[in-house]
Amino acid sequence: MDIKVSGRKTTVTDALHAHVQEKIGEACKVFDIDPMTVDVVLRYEKNPSNPEPAIVEATVRVRGSVIRVAEHGSDMYAAIDAAADKISRQMRKFKTKVIDNRQSAASVAQALPAERVEDLADLLLPEDEDDQLVREKIIEISPMTEEQALVQTDLLGHDFYVFENATTGLINVVYHRKNGGYGIIKPKIETLDE
């Protein structure tokens, strides 16, 4: 397992580096598989009124999936310990939802009826007139099932996830609904009658 430790506007001492290797490395042993890479960024928040200024951000890449964790602490060691605990929980969740479910995927999954969305604007929050594009993110899209996409939204902590549907080859978006459950946005394919 490859663990890279870096500091953002802070120095990573040998003791901090060893603590990250020990705690994060131990947390990742829950799902010990190659290739697995872990990027850990240590930083301090400059706000003096914040009681937990130490921040640890960890990104684990395993089998094409990404698990992200960000934890705060009163000092860097406490933040590293909290991040390691969260990584351990996320890795267990990943193992049970992805790996164990693949073994039981031989059984036929029942599809829920699709909910029709007349206007995509109904799914979006209202915009202010002075809203501007403040960030552009380029993502890698890989073929996966809807269930795998749901697992990825949970692992990343996002409200939605863009993916290529493995069965249709089309781009889909899966999202968590405010009233519970999830929704999926699929493109309408029009065929020409010949």
End-to-end CA distance of the chain: 56
List the one residue out of 89, 52, 53, 51 whose CA is nearest residue 69.
89
pLDDT at 129 over 50: no
Indicate whether 194 pLDDT > 50. no
pLDDT at residue 111 is higher than 50:
no
The answer on pLDDT for 108 being more than 50 is: no
Q: Report the pLDDT averaged over residues 86-108.
A: 68
Strands (DSSP E) along the chain, which ranges? Answer: 2-8, 36-44, 54-62, 65-73, 143-144, 160-165, 171-176, 182-185
| Count of other CB atoms within 10 angstroms of residue 7 | 16
Q: How many C-beta atoms lie closer than 10 Å to residue 171's C-beta?
A: 13
List domains and CATH numbers for the chain. 2-103 (3.30.160.100), 115-121+137-194 (3.30.505.50)
Give the pLDDT score at 57.
92
Is the pLDDT assigned to residue 118 strictly greater than 50?
yes
pLDDT for res 41: 92
The amino acid sitting at 176 is H
Q: Report which residue type is found at 88.
A: S
**pLDDT at residue 34 tops 80:** no
- Give the span between the Cα atoms of 99 and 95, in whole angstroms: 5
- Mean pLDDT of all residues in the chain? 78
* 41 closest CA partner among 21, 29, 53, 55: 55
Distances (CA, A) of 132 to 15, 34, 120, 124, 129: 43, 42, 19, 15, 9
Q: Is the pLDDT of residue 59 over 70?
A: yes
Q: pTM for this structure?
A: 0.56
Question: Any idea what DSSP says for residue 96?
Answer: I
